[in-house]
């Protein structure tokens, strides 16, 4: 049965809308509608085409995915070869290129179309009557591979050109790339699947485009920029490269908006240095600049030499990747206790500087790379990013060097190290003792939500540690006013005030004290749960992992953190000194389940309460066995609404979560 005219017109209108919005998104980088509205339009078109399959055309936006996997790629002969460019690595080589071109043309000055040199895979797109009919890789320049089914899955490549006036046959040449954000997304997906990570965006783009199964290509975040033309018939085009690029953009082909027309060698070099400074802030990787004589008649006059045109030049940035020797692996301990393996390298010039050290991140990364001392490795440095080892050249490995393992003890303090289940980082468990963690441990201990020592801020902690006045948090309670008064910006009055604050902090709560110790994964809520459940610090310190996991919301990771912390002799000694200094808290009566009316209940407070602060409300909920959460979900039991509530109240209403006013909340707490 033939489709009604009304349906045909609606399908055509939807396709036109989708092509228009793709143009706004990919070419102009100026989307006009939200993604949700675009999805709605696409779904409507998919539904109509499903009902009327006879109306499906090859250039419909719905036909980007779904072709059957290929057994192999067929060959494509390029009628006009896709030649490579000569490279320049210095300013003087660019000046020589400009001089030779001027001398051959016998002109005083040349305008060049300058654009970023994208680090991806060169591709040829053939359009006939405005419809994409073929996509081919560059290959050796004369023969490439037919990847039509794959390029059709790339949203940035139009299946039909926009507007009018395009040639009957138009071959667009450009670069398929993966943006930096897309690369991170792709490797995150690879990690989830426990499959090999891609080394860099260029390899990822090339590997994604050369998949025999187009559905795999469709799942990859590929993008595209056009940078030139191949075969063209039946239309006289503008005589300048820059004007052609503007025309391609009108026809719906994405082109690089960073491109500019510059004058002479000086203009080329100014542009090069501007883009080099901007390089790391771009959304995609570039490895240099391409200069092309802008006038096509001058390009023809200049012609070609060997496999490269005389009218174009690639001016490369300093290499961001180089090979060197991995001489040793050392371990640094960070302020939070994290152990970071550092590669000690044979010095190599990369990214414009000499690099002799590079990060190896963690044990998982070392295992993934299979990096071993004595290996030849690939080092990458991009801008101000810390240099990192990104690969091992296995063909250069000599003998059978030993696999590397992070040490079982901290190289700074000798305390045992621990790696918690599900975490990539290995930690030193000597949080209260380790010199590497000293400043961070003291700053956390003195913070408002911990021991709340007013006046003991970050800068003062730095001074005290640097002056050798405190080594552990216990030393805070041995400080005297006369010691403090001698420090920079600390007079007698300030010193006396701080000593009073230190003395005041001795009167605290068990939950605050536990939180102040800085045990990994033990936040305020967990600390309160531990205090409520065990009642005494002694009971918590004696508890094994099974005991700890009987506490609501404490799983194996947190239990392991706690037992690892208290198993360290140094940590126990510091805790003992703190108690000897006079830190104490009210006795806690361990409540039976009947006395914990909020056990298993999750409560969110939003807005301002008249009778208590947000922190006091949180503590009151925890004391009764409840969980005080900061976000509303379907698992939330109550949302308490005070004055000027935020969006959490609206979300609670939409989810059907019970909403309490302040009076009802106080009644729930037994305070009314």
Q: Catalytic amino acids?
A: 117
Distance CA 426, CA 411 (A): 12
Tell me the C-alpha distance between 553 and 628, whole Å.
12
Contact call for residues 243 and 266 (beta carbons, < 8 A): no
Q: Name the β-bridge partners of 178.
A: 222
Integer Cα distance of 136 and 145 in angstroms:
5
CA distance 290 to 117: 6
In whole angstroms, give the CA distance from residue 103 to residue 96.
10
Spatial distance between the Cα atoms of 230 and 100, rounded to a whole number of angstroms: 25
Distances, alpha carbon 517 to alpha carbons 447, 451, 575, 578, 651, in Å = 11, 10, 8, 11, 36
Structure tokens at 69: 């996997």
Exposed / middle / buried, residue 197 (Cβ in 10 Å: 0-12, 13-18, 19+): middle
In the numeric block, the tokens 């060049």 are attached to 112
How far apart are the C-alpha atoms of 302 and 294, rounded to whole Å? 12
Tokens of 547: 């005991």
* Length of the chain, in residues: 672
Dmax (CA) of the chain: 98
The total of other beta-carbon atoms located within 10 Å of residue 359's CB is 16
Beta-carbon count within 10 A of 336 CB? 16
Strands (E), 64-210: 75-77, 87-88, 111-118, 121-128, 131-137, 143-145, 169-178
∠ Cα 414 419 421 (to 5°): 160
Residue 353: other Cβ atoms inside 10 A: 10
The CA distance from 122 to 139, in Å, is: 9
Strands (E) located in 154-221: 169-178
Q: How far is residue 496's CA from residue 581's CA, in Å, rounded to a whole number?
A: 18
Handedness of CA 222, 224, 230, 235 (dihedral sign): positive
Cα–Cα distance for residue pair 250/179, rounded to 1 Å: 23
CA quadruple 571, 576, 577, 581: dihedral sign: positive
Query: What 3-state DSSP class applies to 447?
Result: coil
Q: How far apart are CA 111 and CA 78, in angstroms?
A: 29
Report the alpha-carbon distance of residue 514 to residue 581 in Å, rounded. 16
CA gap 612, 503 in Å, rounded: 26
Structure tokens at 659: 């909403």
State how far the alpha carbon of 545 is from the alpha carbons of 85, 339, 524, 556, 591, in Å: 64, 24, 19, 7, 21
- Looking from the CA of 374 toward its CB, the CA atoms found within 13 Å total 9
């Amino acid at each position: 049965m033939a489709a009604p005219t009304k349906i045909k017109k609606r399908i055509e209108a939807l396709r036109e809308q989708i092509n228009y919005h793709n143009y706004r998104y990919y070419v102009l980088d100026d989307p006009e509608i939200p993604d949700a509205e675009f999805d709605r339009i696409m779904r409507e078109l998919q539904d109509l085409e499903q009902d009327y399959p006879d109306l499906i055309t090859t250039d419909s936006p719905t036909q980007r995915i779904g072709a059957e996997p290929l057994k192999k790629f067929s060959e494509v002969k390029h009628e006009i070869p896709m030649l490579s460019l000569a490279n320049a690595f210095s300013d003087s080589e660019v000046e020589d290129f400009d001089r030779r071109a001027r001398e051959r043309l016998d002109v005083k000055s040349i305008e060049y179309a300058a654009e970023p040199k994208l680090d991806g895979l060169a591709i040829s797109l053939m359009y006939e009557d405005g419809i994409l009919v073929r996509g081919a890789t560059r290959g050796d320049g004369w023969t490439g591979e037919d990847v039509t089914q794959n390029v059709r899955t790339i949203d940035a490549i139009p299946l039909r050109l926009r507007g009018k006036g395009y040639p009957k046959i138009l071959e667009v040449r450009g670069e398929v790339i993966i943006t930096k954000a897309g690369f991170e997304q792709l490797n995150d997906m690879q990690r989830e699947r426990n499959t090999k990570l891609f080394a860099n965006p260029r390899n990822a783009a090339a590997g994604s485009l050369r998949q025999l199964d187009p559905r795999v290509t469709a799942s990859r975040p590929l993008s595209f920029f056009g940078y030139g033309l191949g075969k063209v018939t039946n239309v006289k085009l503008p005589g300048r490269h820059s004007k052609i690029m503007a025309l391609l953009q009108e026809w719906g082909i994405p082109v690089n908006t960073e491109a500019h027309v510059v004058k002479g060698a000086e203009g080329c070099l100014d542009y090069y240095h501007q883009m080099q400074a901007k390089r790391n802030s771009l959304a995609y990787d570039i490895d240099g600049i391409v200069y092309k004589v802008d006038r096509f008649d001058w390009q023809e006059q200049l012609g070609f030499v060997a496999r490269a045109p005389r009218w174009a030049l690639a001016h490369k940035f300093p290499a961001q990747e180089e090979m060197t020797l991995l001489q040793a692996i050392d371990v640094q301990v960070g302020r939070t206790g994290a152990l970071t393996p550092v590669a000690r390298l044979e010095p190599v010039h990369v990214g414009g500087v000499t690099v002799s050290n590079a990060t190896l991140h963690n044990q998982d990364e070392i295992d993934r790379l299979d990096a071993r001392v004595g290996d030849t490795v690939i080092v990458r440095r991009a801008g101000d990013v810390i240099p990192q080892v990104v690969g091992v050249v296995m063909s250069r490995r000599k003998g059978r060097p030993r696999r590397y393992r992070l040490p079982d003890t901290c190289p700074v303090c000798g305390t045992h190290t621990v790696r918690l289940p599900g975490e990539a980082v290995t930690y030193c468990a000597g949080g209260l003792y380790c010199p590497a963690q000293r400043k961070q441990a003291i700053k956390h201990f003195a913070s408002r939500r911990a021991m709340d020592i007013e006046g003991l801020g970050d800068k003062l902690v730095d001074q005290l540690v640097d002056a050798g006045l405190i080594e552990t948090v216990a030393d805070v309670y041995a400080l005297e006013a006369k010691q403090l008064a001698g420090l920079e910006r600390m007079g007698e009055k300030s010193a006396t005030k701080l000593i009073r604050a230190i003395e005041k902090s001795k009167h605290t709560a068990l939950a605050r004290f536990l939180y102040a110790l800085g045990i990994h994964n033990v936040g305020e809520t967990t600390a309160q749960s531990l205090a409520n459940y065990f009642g005494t610090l002694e009971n918590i310190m004696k508890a094994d992992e099974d005991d700890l996991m009987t506490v609501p919301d404490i799983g194996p990771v947190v239990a392991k953190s706690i037992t690892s912390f208290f198993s360290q002799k140094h940590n126990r000694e510091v805790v003992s000194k703190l108690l000897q200094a006079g830190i104490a808290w009210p006795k806690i009566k361990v409540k039976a389940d009947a006395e914990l009316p909020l056990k298993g209940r999750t409560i969110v407070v939003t807005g301002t309460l008249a009778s208590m602060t947000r922190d006091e409300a949180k503590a009151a909920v925890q004391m009764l066995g409840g969980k005080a959460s900061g976000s509303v979900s379907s698992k939330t039991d109550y949302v308490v609404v005070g004055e000027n509530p935020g969006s959490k109240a609206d979300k609670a209403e939409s989810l059907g979560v019970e909403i309490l006013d302040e009076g009802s909340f106080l009644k729930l707490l037994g305070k009314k």
